[in-house]
Amino acid sequence: MSGCIFCQVAAGEIPATIVKRGDGLIAFRDINPQAPTHVLVIPAQHVPSLNDAKDAQLLGRMLVFARDLARETGVAERGYRVVFNTNPDGGQTVFHLHLHLLGGRAMQWPPG
């Protein structure tokens, strides 16, 4: 979708540190990391938010992708967090579906 920053990342139109690609998904490092490992996983295709995601298989693939990425980036054993911020109260700021994979430090609960 034109004007969508993550569509531009997916198209290679703006630079990003791509960590993994495949299965219609792209993982890249967050520009403002909140943990030593902070990777975003997005579908190449534009979907605004979890509320709009009709494709259960896509959501499943995103989770498997993040789980595998956690292993590949070395955070799986100690642990990590997967987050879908959704709409304003959920803290979503970029309206292209993405999950955050956060690891490399102990997380707090409840989240802010």
- Residue 97 as a binder of ligand 5GP (CB under 6 A): the answer is no
Residue 84 to residues 2, 12, 14, 15, 72, Cα–Cα distance (Å): 22, 23, 23, 23, 21
Is-catalytic flag, 98? yes
Strand, coil or helix: 15? coil
- Residue 62 as a binder of ligand 5GP (CB under 6 A): the answer is no
- Residue 4 as a binder of Zn ion (CB under 5 A): the answer is yes
The active-site residue, picked from 38, 46, 96, 98, is 98
Strand, coil or helix: 74? coil
Indicate the residue among 5 and 44 with the shorter CB distance to ligand 5GP.
Answer: 5
Indicate the residue among 106 and 111 with the shorter CB distance to ligand 5GP.
Answer: 111
| DSSP conformational letter for 18 | E
- Residue 12 as a binder of ligand 5GP (CB under 6 A): the answer is no
Among residues 68, 61, 59, the alpha carbon closest in space to that of 97 is found at 59
* Stretch in the footprint of Zn ion (CB under 5 A) among 7-15, 18-26, 55-63, 66-74: 7-15
- Judged by CB under 6 A, which of 50, 61, 76, 85 binds ligand 5GP? 85
Distance of CA 37 to the CA centre of its chain: 12
Token pair belonging to 2: 């034109």
Q: Which residues are designated catalytic? A: 98
